[in-house]
Amino acid sequence: MKSATSRLVALVLTAGLVVPLPALAGATATPGAPADKQAAPKDIGPVKPTKPQYDTGLKPKDEITPAEQLVFLDEHLSNLKSATTLTYGFVKQGNMEKGFSDMVEENVAVDGKGKTVKAKFLSGLNSKEFSPIEGANSNPVILHFLERDLSEMQRLTTGQPNYFRKRIRAALAEGPEIKSVKFNWNGKQVDAKSVSVEPYMSDPMVHDPARAAYKRYRGKRYTFVLSDAVPGKVAEMRFTIPDLALAGEAAYEKPLLEEVLTLQSSKK
């Protein structure tokens, strides 16, 4: 099994993970309060597990989990053998803010050096700029979706993106269940795998009276659906902020806020 140190090396070296990723010490790192000022980044080198400085509520495993492998480390672009444009539909909806629909495009070029991915992520005031990624293996749309989400979490809570990023990583490192599901692709139901995490629910910081905004979003759920049967293997991603005034799954069926990215087409 891969160790926590090899997890860091794999995450850093995997092509496509060029968005800044702090070392996944997960629950073993000093997380810092969401509203605290983030320390300047340092070259920390290989990371060894350390004793938690406080109870984060998360218990990441030492070895890389199947959920981490599925979402961050698999070679999602391996089923693209020639230049391809992947188009994803994007929908923001819910009772808390005004929603919108838009598109995300990934242009994947294939040459002797591997794959280069250029992304057009949303449009107008909602657009986000990402640099082209050369030698990509994993699908960058995963990190692009999450980077937008981290910016939104910062806007909603005044917390720091690095803190939220670490909790998502650590939640996947706990080894959540991977479920077999179906995804509708080109009019057919294809086999897919789904994994969900709720990285903030167990965070003791949500009970801090000074972080009322963070507490409101503690039930936020991230769901990743991947399939070998679709180009780029990323079928759908979503986050859902439940209305915790409702009980059980009803809170997620009528969310305060939800963003969904779904693969719609693939053109060569």
Ordered per-residue pLDDT tens for the chain, 268 residues = 455 544 544 444 333 343 333 333 333 333 344 444 444 444 434 545 555 556 899 999 999 999 999 999 999 999 999 999 999 999 999 999 999 999 999 999 998 888 999 999 999 999 999 999 999 999 999 999 999 999 999 999 999 999 999 999 999 999 999 999 999 999 999 999 999 999 999 999 999 998 999 999 999 999 999 999 999 999 999 999 999 999 889 999 999 999 999 999 999 9
pLDDT (0 to 100) of residue 25 = 35
- Lay out the sheet containing 221-226: strands in order across: 133-134, 114-121, 100-111, 84-93, 257-267, 234-241, 221-226, 188-197, 178-185
Say if residue 61 is exposed, middle or buried (CB neighbours under 10 Å; 0-12, 13-18, 19+).
Answer: middle
CA dist 141 and 169 (Å) reads 16
Task: Return the pLDDT at 113.
Answer: 80
Q: Which sign does the torsion angle of CA 139, 169, 18, 237 carry?
A: positive
The pLDDT of residue 263? 98
Contact status, residue 17 vs residue 143, Cβ threshold 8 Å: yes
What confidence score (pLDDT) does residue 112 get?
A: 81
Burial of 17 (C-beta count, 10 Å sphere; 0-12/13-18/19+): buried
Please count the other Cβ atoms lying within 10 Å of the Cβ belonging to residue 222. 20
Cα 9 to Cα 140: distance, rounded to the nearest angstrom: 18
Alpha carbon separation from 62 to 8, 65, 167 (Å, rounded): 11, 9, 15
